[in-house]
Amino acid sequence: MKKIYFDNAATTALDSNVLDVMLPYMTEKFGNPSSIYSYGRESRLAIETARKSVAKILNAHPGEIFFTSGGTESSNTAIAAAINNLGCRHIISSEIEHHATLHSVEHLHSRDNIRLSNVNLLSNGHVDMEHLRELLAGSKERCLVTLMHANNEIGNLLDMHAVGNLCKEFDAIFHSDTVQTVGHYPFDLRNTPVHFINGSAHKFHGPKGVGILYINENVKITPFIHGGSQERNMRAGTENVYGIVGFAKALEMATAHYEEHSAYINDLRMYMAEQLQQHIPGIGFNGDLHGRSLYTVLNVSFPKTEKSEMLLFNLDINGICASGGSACTSGADAGSHVIRAINSDPNRIAVRFSFSKDNTKEEIDTVVAKLKELI
């Protein structure tokens, strides 16, 4: 059975060109970057070349880019640093953040008695900017605002500049989880009012297990992971050299083909939305499909029936990969915290389809036909 993969927000396939640049560092170029002899210097050069490439693409300084194990570590580092190093005693977040953020802020709230507030959400899932202003204006403590750039389940996009300028007005620290947007949108970090962002290579056809944390040059923090002097004393542990090389290559390729791929993928998304509306009665869409929305994600709301409750299971049996909200909770009975926050209707079932440059309209036609059959 030929599989159809529509879960690219969970992870993407490794591009063969990315693998090609990684392979030498998995074989003959195996030196430890901390070693002073030629093998080590070769690995060190690869890391610093990758750092410069990533910084140039994001319009940041190389000294602001730190390589990590992925988006979760990067978010944990930024959130902990805001509390431990930057004097924040009040965290403002939202109910629809990724669990890497949600669980971090809840941990600090319960362990260190850090005040925690959730900003209100509008009916379409976007952040209520007026309420965010009220929370910042009413806070006696310095705030950390941690709000994701694009929601991984419903695709809503945050206006980072508007939030960043509001944080600047109230001397707040701003962290944005940009895991779904680094590699999918152009960034200009020198002209974006944000203190921390993070990225993960496997979201844009790079390897798993490698990410970045951007730390604005005006922010001084202490390490989250202690040990060696790697990453300029900021992140201990022998570097994932081939992962770092792969991250840079994947980001270079994603940036070079951004216009072409983003238009193509968005066409796929809107085509599927149209086909579903034509062929399956009673469906809707979660999030701001026709407004500020991530071009890779389509979150479909189906009427709850005996058949639709088994939908993901039956799609899988038929070789179709999709997820119920977020892949991170797709195996849990609790379902999606994001969908619960924006739509508490118990008579609806949410399925996320997410697309990449490798998908086709023919695959969409096959999936829509199968959905008609199943529902």
Express each pLDDT in 7-36 by its tens digit.
999 999 999 999 999 999 999 999 999 999
What whole-number distance in Å separates Cα of residue 54 and Cα of residue 48? 10
Confidence of residue 334 (pLDDT cuts 50, 70, 90): low
Mean pLDDT, residues 83-98 taken together: 98
Task: Give the pLDDT confidence score for residue 305 in this predicted structure.
Answer: 86
Question: Average per-residue pLDDT in the chain?
Answer: 95
pLDDT tens for each residue of 346-372: 889 999 999 999 999 999 999 999 999
Task: Give the pLDDT confidence score for residue 213 in this predicted structure.
Answer: 98
Instruction: With a cut of 90, say whether residue 308 has pLDDT above it.
Output: no
Mean pLDDT, residues 290-318 taken together: 93
Mean pLDDT, residues 156-169 taken together: 98
* Contact present, 342 and 121 (Cβ < 8 Å): yes
Q: Which CATH class is domain 4-12+257-374?
A: alpha beta
What CATH number does the domain located at 16-256 have? 3.40.640.10
Instruction: With a cut of 60, say whether residue 333 has pLDDT above it.
Output: no
Task: Give the pLDDT confidence score for residue 211 in this predicted structure.
Answer: 98
What whole-number distance in Å separates Cα of residue 332 and Cα of residue 261? 33
What whole-number distance in Å separates Cα of residue 186 and Cα of residue 372? 37
Mean pLDDT, residues 303-324 taken together: 92
Q: Which residue has the higher pLDDT, 335 or 255?
A: 255
Q: What is the full DSSP assignment across 261-293?
A: HHHHHHHHHHHHHHHHHHHSTT-EESS-TTSSB
Active-site residue identified among 88, 143, 167, 328 = 328
What whole-number distance in Å separates Cα of residue 273 and Cα of residue 267? 10
pLDDT tens for each residue of 112-133: 999 999 999 999 999 999 999 9
Where do the structural domains in the chain lie, given as residue ranges?
Answer: 4-12+257-374, 16-256
Percent of the chain's residues with pLDDT above 70: 97
Confidence of residue 298 (pLDDT cuts 50, 70, 90): very high
Task: Give the pLDDT confidence score for residue 286 in this predicted structure.
Answer: 95
Number of other CB atoms surrounding residue 7 within 10 Å: 19
Instruction: With a cut of 80, say whether residue 325 has pLDDT above it.
Output: no
Q: Which residue has the higher pLDDT, 256 or 331?
A: 256
What whole-number distance in Å separates Cα of residue 292 and Cα of residue 30? 44
Instruction: With a cut of 50, say whether residue 375 has pLDDT above it.
Output: yes
Task: Give the pLDDT confidence score for residue 263 in this predicted structure.
Answer: 98
pLDDT tens for each residue of 32-76: 999 999 999 999 999 999 999 999 999 999 999 999 999 999 999
Instruction: With a cut of 70, say whether residue 331 has pLDDT above it.
Output: no
Mean pLDDT, residues 295-311 taken together: 92
Report the range of poorest mean pLDDT among 220-224, 319-323, 341-345.
Answer: 341-345
Task: Give the pLDDT confidence score for residue 137 in this predicted structure.
Answer: 98
Mean pLDDT, residues 315-337 taken together: 74
Instruction: With a cut of 80, say whether residue 374 has pLDDT above it.
Output: yes
In the residue annotation, 328 being an active-site residue is answered as yes
What whole-number distance in Å separates Cα of residue 97 and Cα of residue 72? 12
